[in-house]
Amino acid sequence: MNKYLLLCLLPLVASAQNYVARVSQMADQIDQKVIGYRRHFHQNPELSNREVETAKFVADKLKALGLEVQTGVAKTGVVALLKGGKPGPCVALRADMDALPVPERAPLPFASKAKGEYNGQEVPVMHACGHDTHMAMLLGAAEILTTMRKDIKGTVKFIFQPAEEGAPRGEEG
């Protein structure tokens, strides 16, 4: 998954040939870790503007990579900057963070049992729109690109966006 995402960034790196091989190899290396992130997010979904634990998890992983991390963006959003070793443009990669007020039906070991409050009602909460995979992939991309910092021409901005599904009534998002 990471491989395809990162190939879009080819123009940003110094030596293109090396880049493809390195991305491929690293994506294979961290595959299980990224799958683990996805399952964690899937099992712990949070509704729009309530992505508090999700934001903490994301920010911790990004800080551990040594990135410049900003939290509380648009309430629960997280933004990290990777400054490359060479001058160049800034490119943003984005993932959404929130889950939906729908029940989990799949009998998975990492199925969601989460509940939340949505417009005054208690509801089941589930990542039914793929935001769990988006976040896992973006964390994977951040990890791979961080190892290439010195070859990157420019800056990569990782944006974890809250409330993509729409903020609850009466809130901004």
Judged by the rule CB under 5 A, the positions of this chain that interact with Zn ion are 129
Residue 21 or 106: the one with the smaller Cβ distance to Zn ion is: 106
Helices and strands (H and E) in the chain: how many = 4, 6
For the bound state, the minimum distance from the C-beta of residue 84 to Zn ion, rounded and expressed in Å, comes to 30
CB of 45 to Zn ion, least distance (A): 12
Closer residue to Zn ion, CB minimum distance, 154 or 162: 162
- SS3 of 121, please? strand
| CA gap 107, 160 in Å, rounded | 28
Of all residues in the shown chain, the one whose CB is closest to Zn ion is: 129
Nearest approach, Cβ of residue 31 and Zn ion (Å): 24
Residue 74 vs 129, nearer CB to Zn ion: 129
Question: Would the CA dihedral through 3, 9, 10, 14 be positive or negative?
Answer: negative
Which residue stretches of 44-167 are H helix? 52-64, 131-146
